[in-house]
Amino acid sequence: MAVKHSKYKNTGILFELLVRQVTNDTINGIENSSAISIIREFFKKNTSLKKELGLYQTLLSEKFNTEPKAERFIDAVLKERKKLSSNVLKKQKYNLIKEIKKNYNIEEFFKTQVSNYSQNASVYCLFEGASPSNQVRFRYSLVESITNKKIVKSKVDETYDIYSKQDKEVRMLSYKILLEKFNEKYGTLGRKQKSLLKEYINNISNTDKLKKYIHSEIDSTTSKIDKAAKHIKDDVVKIKLTEVSSQLKLVKEEKKIKDKFIISVLRAYDLSKELANVIK
Q: Which of 171, 188, 216 is at the close of a domain?
A: 171
Please write the tens of the pLDDT for every residue from 41-81.
999 888 999 999 999 989 988 888 888 899 999 999 999 99
pLDDT at 171: 34
**100 and 146 co-located in one domain:** yes
Instruction: Report the C-alpha gap between 100 and 177 in whole angstroms.
Output: 26
Q: Which pLDDT score, from 0 to 100, does residue 152 have?
A: 43
Q: Both 28 and 146 in a single domain?
A: yes
Same domain, 146 and 207: no
pLDDT band at 140 (very low <50, low <70, confident <90, very high): confident
Same domain? 164 vs 178: no
Q: Is 216 exposed, middle or buried (0-12, 13-18, 19+ CB in 10 A)?
A: exposed
Question: Which of residues 171, 197, 222 is at a domain's end?
Answer: 171
**Confidence band, pLDDT 50/70/90 cuts, at residue 206:** low
Assess whether 53 and 25 both reside in one domain.
yes
**pLDDT computed for residue 173 by the predictor:** 40
Q: What is the pLDDT of residues 211-227, one digit of tens each?
A: 888 899 999 988 888 88
3-class secondary-structure state, position 90: helix
Nearest to 9 by CA among 81, 110, 78: 110
Task: From residue 236, give the alpha-carbon distance in Å to each of 113, 229, 232.
Answer: 45, 11, 10
More confident residue, 197 or 91: 91
Query: What pLDDT score does 159 carry?
Result: 41
Average pLDDT value for residue range 260-279: 77
Rg (CA), the chain: 22
Please list, residue by residue across 70-90, b when 16 or more beta carbons sit within 10 angstroms of its beta carbon and e when fewer do. bbebbeebbeebeeeeeeebe
The count of structural domains within the chain is 2
243, 196 contact by CB (below 8 A)? no
More confident position, 76 or 255: 76
pLDDT in the model for residue 278: 63
Same domain (yes/no): 166, 57 = yes
Give the total residue count for the chain: 280
The pLDDT, as a whole number, for residue 83 is 95
Q: Domain range for residue 147? A: 11-171
